[in-house]
Structure 1
Amino acid sequence: MSASWHPVANAQPTEWLMRQSSTGTPYGVIRRFAFGDPNRPDIWFRVVTWAPTSEGRELIGWCRTLEAAAAAAWDHRCAAESWRHHLAARRTDAGTMAARRPPAAELVRFYRASLRAKRGAGTDRESVLARMPQPAGRP
């Protein structure tokens, strides 16, 4: 006798490790949270940077959909690379880069603003990133 039901039918994905390819280094972690009434939960997705342990991860943001969360993780990856390239082009050393690194949520916010900005004098991605304010307490 064979059952048509399998325990996997009850499985609910709760965490996604974001990576560009199956062998690439992860760049983000998305976790699904359900709040409130178990019959009609309020679903949110928390997006954090990837690190081997949770202590090394940084909040990027909270999103209402998995698609928006994946976009936020990808935008952080692109923003971090763009910011790093911007500083490296100016021969900034790794220690200074680490000290100046803006919080993940700020980096995404400014990156997205740069994408929305009209192309023209002083509004390209590099110049928007160059004008990004540095967090208090960081050089």
Structure 2
Amino acid sequence: MKNIIYYLIILCVLGGCKSFTRTDLQSNCGNTFEVQYIKNGKYLVSKKERAKNYLNIYFLSNFNDQIKININQKEVFNKEVITDSTKFDTYSAAFTYKLSSSENKYIMKGYSERNKTCFEIPIDTKYRIIYFYYYQNKWIIRFSNEIIIN
């Protein structure tokens, strides 16, 4: 019986519910930001939806700021984002970006007016959802195909 319990614990640790990788990077504004890639999840975007070439971008936690987002040097978002810090993983701002059939590389740049922080990162187009968090004075950019259901 003990061996079975140890085996299950090892499976949970190795497999986990959500498998993701995480990397810390330095921005050209001088701050550190974190990039996460969620490999799987409970509610995944269907293959049919992923084929439509749209990115859905959500602002989740701890934003109370004017946020600017550029993709390939074109401004695609410039609004004040106020998130509800009492409800984790609920979004107050979102936008959709259509990927071009003629371009195959996308560089996303984000900037926070109040906090004077930024990030610059290539978009991994295998993922159709990008979640933004601002936690402990750091941007967190999460690439995912998982839809958050509240």
TM-score by length of 2: 0.25
Structure of larger gyration radius: 1
More helix by share: 1
* Larger RCO (alpha carbons 8 Å, 6+ apart): 2
More strand by share: 2
